[in-house]
Structure 1
Amino acid sequence: MKDLNIQAIGLMSGTSLDGLDVCCCTFRREARKWSFHIDCAKGYTYPDDLKQKLGAGAQQMSALEFITFHSAYGKFLGERVNEFMQEFNVRPDIIASHGHTIFHEPQKRIMYQIGDGAAIAAETRIPTVSDFRRLDIMLGGQGAPLVPIGDRLLFANYDYCLNIGGFSNISFEEDGHRIAFDISPVNYVINHYCRQVGLEFDRDGKIARQGSICQPLLDELNNMDFYQQAGPKSLGREWVETLVYPMLEKYGLNLEDRLRTFYEHAAHQIERVITTHSRPSGNSKLLITGGGAFNKFLIERIDALCPCEIVIPERQIIEYKEALIFAFLGTLYMADEPNCLASVTGAPIDNIGGMLFK
């Protein structure tokens, strides 16, 4: 296996709708080991009309409207990459785009990551890999999570890698296999209720900190069937909108109490997973990244419940780890190495997901 040196741009748009993350990294493979360096990174907020379409809007579109938006959003992504490359004076070997999840029902073998990779390649004139989930889902896997291959190869110093975005997800090694799955919704729910009072998010958890826990609601949330299932498993917006929102709203709570209860639920589910998969040494390290790592009150609750050392890395890793790893997925695609692990998705085999446009 020869040594490699590849520069890649990763694009990440999460279900929390906080914008587009662009991360340019250089990856090196030497003596079969991968390393990375973040060359530059930047976040781009979405215009309100685009945010609405990426939210509930796209799910209600006609087939023609949907495919038109798919192309237009791809063009938008390509334009942002062009701005990024000009600002930071970079021109990578490959672009890897997560797209934005509109449909995710793997049990029906249905998924759609909007944002046409061909449009990105056309705008930037750089080879682009997109649609990373489709092959895995057609093989019978969940198509998610995809980040664990990066956790295994780039962040092996940590016992657990937890990302808190629209949903929380975790990955760790167990019996020689990488295990990973979605834990619960987090920012997708928090931001939804904050927008109802004109806020984009609950800064530092200040709203939730003022509330009280509604124990019957907390018990009902914690007893949902999903949490009793073994992995691999993944969550989508459909599950939240069908089951979680009605549960949160039926108790007639004010915003503070509703969020306080939900924070406790999210922290409890993280603690439950880590306790179930605890390390014999008892000296485990939990790396936390994603937007939720900035939520002081949420981190306090996780720290109070979890039996491990919490590590909050440098800001650039917190904000751009998922975009960084999508750049890595594109790099693995170029290296002809698996970028999707059967042990985390439930597919019968590891696979090289993605579609290349060049």
Structure 2
Amino acid sequence: MFKESYSIIGVMSGTSLDGIDLAHINFTIKEDKWRYEILENETISYSENWLNKLKIALGFSGKELIELNEDYTQLLGSIVKSFIDKHQIKNIDAVCSHGHTILHQPQNGFTLQIGNLPKIAQIIQERVVCDFRVQDVKLGGQGAPLVPMGDRILFSEYDYCLNLGGFSNVSFEDNSKRIAFDISPVNTVLNFYSNKLGLNYDDKGKIARSGKVNADLLIELNALEYYKKQFPKSLGFEFVKEVVLPLIEKHSISIEDKMHTFTEHIALQTSLALPNKTGKILITGGGAYNAFLIERMQFHLPKIEIIIPDNKTLEFKEALIFALLGVLKLRNEVNVLSSVTGAKMDHSSGVIFVL
């Protein structure tokens, strides 16, 4: 007999490198309806040393990646342990962690999220559920996005769920199937140019707003092959490093104009990605704070009601959903949908490490 309530720590580190999100969540299930409450929560910023490592890790050798994985698992484990101790959280059912994506090449049957080594359970001294993407890729799927299962279970009142993180991804129901895919890069590009100005990010999109659209660049961005692909499809930082940034850098224009043009590109691709331009859309992730981006989305989607939730849900939605995916794994229930990833079948993904 399964439990009706779970005390879970959800852990997420995204490609935008904002930091490690930790959230203590209480889940309850009654009459097949899941409910959640986000309790203690915190985002731990990366040190400058770790930021630099993670930014260049895409070019690491196999030996360097093994060492990085060991070191990051130690870092992540110690951060989670400190979070639990600081908030005196007791009787935890599991820590459910995404890890941090370094390589994502589903077309080559490969994806790597560091921080998912077995020793993490010993460091934290709790049961750990992690490494959610690898099994899906082995089953022929994209290994992403995984959040849509949580969207279906926890946020079914919205027509669309859109996350604006390092990349944007959307999920929605279509003929009783959950459809989801990555739309475009977002903060991986905008933060890159903010960093060049000595800033971690563009506060409310003010820098981008001060620039102007470069028509030639916008046309080239919108013509990228990825946008012609049918779902399921997903993006990794490789796409930004090898395709997007070289394209932008060919244009001798100001950083402000580059950011303004890319913001317009994000908004336009979002509008093109939604099959029905009416209804309600829930927007979460760091990009939801970018007022200029949200304005441009509203301009391209005038009949859509944009809803930005409370701060806890906005900032910790991915940690929340990976916590739920971990609970579903503990229950041996489906937590990855083949309609989303393109895998051979729905399945219960992730590995469980016990003390």
What range is the shorter-chain TM-score in?
A: over 0.9
State the partner residue of 1:228: 228
The residue number in structure 2 matching 1:296 is 291
Tell me, yes or no, if structure 1 residue 319 matches structure 2 residue 315: yes
**Can you list the C-alpha shifts for 1:158-209, whole angstroms capped at 9, x where unaligned?**
1100000000000000000000000000000000111112111111111111
Moved more, 113-122 or 319-328: 113-122
* 1:312-347 deviation digits (Å, cap 9, x = unpaired): 100111100001101111111111111111010000
Contact 1:98 1:132 (C-alpha < 8 Å) held by counterparts: yes
Alignment partner of 2:276 out of 278, 283, 286 = 278
**Cα distance in 2 for residues equivalent to 1:4 and 1:133:** 26
- Tell me the distance in 2 between the aligned counterparts of 1:3 and 1:160: 30
Q: 1:68 Cα deviation (Å)?
A: 1.9
| TM-score (norm: length of structure 2) | 0.97
- Given that 1:11 and 1:98 are in contact with CA atoms closer than 8 Å, whether structure 2 keeps it comes out as yes
Q: Which amino acid aligns with 1:302?
A: M
Structure 1 residue 72 displacement after superposition:
1.4
Find the aligned partners of 1:2 and 1:53 in 2 and give their Cα distance.
42
What do residues 285-332 of structure 1 show as CA deviations (whole Å, max 9, x unaligned)?
Answer: 000000000111111111111130000100111100001101111111
Residue of structure 2 equivalent to 1:59: 58
Match of 1:88 in 2: 87
In 2: Cα distance, 1:309 partner to 1:227 partner? 24
* Alignment check: 8 A CA contact 1:285 1:309 kept: yes
- Residue deviations 1:236-291 (CA, integer Å, cap 9, x gap): 111111111111111111011010000000000111112xx116xx4x10000000
Residue 204 of structure 2 corresponds to 204
Q: Tell me, in whole angstroms, the C-alpha distance in 2 between the residues paired with 1:25 and 1:128.
A: 15
Give the Cα–Cα distance (whole angstroms) in 2 for the partners of residues 324 and 132 of structure 1: 14
Distance 1:2 1:85 in 2: 25
Question: How far 1:3 sits from its partner (Å)?
Answer: 5.3
Does the Cα contact within 8 Å between 1:181 and 1:232 map onto a contact in 2? yes
Displacement, 1:216?
A: 1.0
1:339 matched residue in structure 2? 335
- Structure 2 distance, partners of 1:22, 1:117, is 18
CA contact (8 A) 2:136 2:341 kept: yes
Instruction: Indicate if the aligned counterparts of 2:74 and 2:120 stay in contact, CA closer than 8 A.
Output: yes
Alpha-carbon deviations, 1:37-60, whole Å to 9, x = none? 11211100000111111111x233
Query: Match for 2:289: what amino acid?
Result: F
CA distance in 2, matches of 1:59, 1:248: 20
Which residue of structure 2 aligns with residue 23 of structure 1? 23
3-state SS, counterpart of residue 198 of structure 1: coil
Whether contact under 8 Å (2:58, 2:238) holds in the other structure is: no
Task: Kindly provide the amino acid, as one letter, of the partner of residue 77 in structure 2.
Answer: G
* Native 8 Å contact 1:10 1:326 kept in 2: yes
CA distance in 2, matches of 1:298, 1:114: 31
Which string of whole-angstrom CA distances, capped at 9 and with x for unpartnered residues, describes residues 53-94 of structure 1?
A: 1111x2333333321221111111111111111222213210
The 3-state SS of whatever aligns with 1:72 is helix
1:259 aligns with 2:259: yes
Contact 2:100 2:114 in 1 (8 A): yes
1: CA distance, partners of 2:225 / 2:188: 19
Identical-residue share of aligned pairs (%): 47
TM-superposed deviation, 1:226 = 0.8
Gaps of 5+ in 1: none
Report what 1:156 is aligned to: 156
- Give the deviation of 1:116 after TM superposition: 2.9
Aligned residues: 352
Assess, with a 3 A threshold, how the Cα gap between structure 1 residues 153 and 4 changes in structure 2: closer, same or farther: same
Task: Give yes or no for contact 2:329–2:335 (8 Å, CA) kept in 1.
Answer: yes
**Equivalent in the alignment of 1:8:** 8
Q: Which amino acid aligns with 2:89?
A: V
Cα contact 2:2–2:331 (8 A) shared by 1: no
Q: Given the two structures, how large is their TM-score scaled by the length of structure 1?
A: 0.96
Counterpart of 1:329 in structure 2: which amino acid?
A: L
Q: Distance in 2 between matches of 1:348 and 1:66?
A: 29
**2:349 — aligned with what?**
353
Q: Which letter maps to 1:278?
A: N
Q: Which of structure 1's runs of 4+ aligned residues deviate more than 6 A? A: none
Q: Which residue of 2 aligns with 1:243?
A: 243
1:78 paired with 2:57, answer no
RMSD of aligned Cα (Å):
1.2
Amino acid at match of 2:305: E
Gaps of 5+ in 2: none
Alignment partner of 1:55: what SS?
Answer: helix
